[in-house]
Amino acid sequence: MERQRLPLLIVRGLAVFGLASVVTWLAMPSPIGSLAWIPSPAPALDGPYKMNTLLEGARRTFADDAANIVGAEDMAFDPEGRAWSGLADGRIVRFDDSGPTTIVNTGGRPLGLEFSEHDGNLYVCDADLGLLVVDPVKKTVTSLVNTAEGDAFRFTNNLEIDHKGRIYFTDSSSVWNKDQYTEDLLDQRPTGRVLRYDTDTGTTTVLVRELSFANGLALMPDERSLIIAETGRYRLWRLWLEGEQRNIKEPFIENLPGFPDNLSVSPRGTIWVAMASTRKRLLDAIHPSPFLKDAVATLPPLLRPKPVRWGFVLEVDGDGRPMRSLQDPSGDVVPGATAVHERDGMLWLGSLADRGVVTVPLP
């Protein structure tokens, strides 16, 4: 009789332990105080979003394992056509036929970067340190700005430069840093900003506020408007910079099939959108419930929702209409695209993985 009762006691004990664990978990203080948000149902993967394998032909370029090329999140091209990128360990490297060459180390985490035709310098959004400038000849790093309107930058992310040398850039959040992107996506408190730095006067102006994870930027060829990626809400905005609509922000494309990251303008004037991950049903399902999101934020990183390994880049026309996508559903070649640049019939893709720089012929 005692032997028969023993398994039952074990099951009851495990049930009590499990229930106690759940109650303890739900009672834990959360690092976030999230807002409810109801996303639209994710778009079907048809039409321009139809599943394909056009990125599976991508190849690793300059992927010298000995050089530890990890986290080439974005890239810029110098006047000689050489690619430059910032890496996870703080280095900014230049790639050429002889392989990667380290130019400087910012001491932080360089993300978006771009050369200015105005002065020939490389401008860098460092997630930890703010907006920087690198002299490619002297190999020096100078801090330009790391605060605006009394709020320190927490996650300086991406930039664009106009013909006057003015720098448009994003600070993804005034609350969360680069290592807390999950908290930012769950939280949905829109604290991201778009700013402009005037290199002639040294002044910084906030152009847009209240974005949920402000991310990539694309300056349209006529420089009359700026396209902005709002990663946390699966959409792009257009900010008018000139004309009667100056300073007005309007939707450009909404309800994307993934998390938009960095943007770029193609030689045709269209917009390339890199998707860091496709959408997760679980995340969309809990967005309306702050209680559930706050509870998820208390989980250790190992148990939190992870990005979907699915390479996905999208081309959008000048009016925000999706045209075509290139994908790697396996995630084996492109686990997630953080940047996409078109040059001479090739797409150059950035990634947070250890893929080096990835290129693929444009079909």
Matching residue, tokens 């900014």? 92
Q: Which carries the bigger pLDDT value, residue 357 or residue 351? A: 351
CA-nearest of 278, 248, 246, 245 to 261 is: 278
pLDDT tens digits, one per residue of 250-285? 999 999 999 999 999 999 999 999 999 999 999 999
At 290 the pLDDT is: 96
CA-nearest of 250, 261, 259, 257 to 320 is: 250
Question: How large is the average pLDDT for residues 224-247?
Answer: 97
Print the SS3 string covering 135-187: ECCCCEEEEEECEECCEECCCEEEEEECCCCCEEEEECCCCCCHHHHHHHHHH
Q: Is residue 86 in some structural domain?
A: yes
Alpha carbons 155 and 215: distance in angstroms, whole number: 10
pLDDT tens digits, one per residue of 58-86? 887 765 565 688 899 999 999 999 999 99
At 18 the pLDDT is: 42
Phi-psi region of 264 (alpha: psi -120 to 50; beta: other; left: phi over 0): beta
Give the domain extent around 231. Answer: 46-361
Angle at 300 between CA 297 and CA 301, to 5 degrees: 85
Q: Is residue 5 in some structural domain?
A: no
Q: Is residue 33 in some structural domain?
A: no
Question: How large is the average pLDDT for residues 304-329?
Answer: 95
Q: Is residue 116 in some structural domain?
A: yes
At 305 the pLDDT is: 80
- Cβ–Cβ < 8 Å for 344, 359: no
CATH of the domain at 309: 2.120.10.30
pTM (2 d.p.): 0.91
- The residues pairing with 134 across neighbouring beta strands, listed in sequence order, are 122, 141
- Cβ–Cβ < 8 Å for 269, 319: no
The pLDDT-based confidence of 29 (bands split at 50, 70, 90) is confident
Q: Is residue 128 in some structural domain?
A: yes
pLDDT tens digits, one per residue of 205-214? 999 999 999 9
Question: How large is the average pLDDT for residues 207-226?
Answer: 98
Q: Is residue 224 in some structural domain?
A: yes
Q: Is residue 301 in some structural domain?
A: yes
Q: Is residue 211 in some structural domain?
A: yes
Identity of residue 114: E
Alpha carbons 155 and 144: distance in angstroms, whole number: 15
Q: Calculate the average pLDDT of the chain.
A: 91
Alpha carbons 294 and 273: distance in angstroms, whole number: 30
Looking at the structure of the chain, the number of domains it has is 1
At 65 the pLDDT is: 60
Q: Residue count of the chain, please give it.
A: 363
Identity of residue 268: R
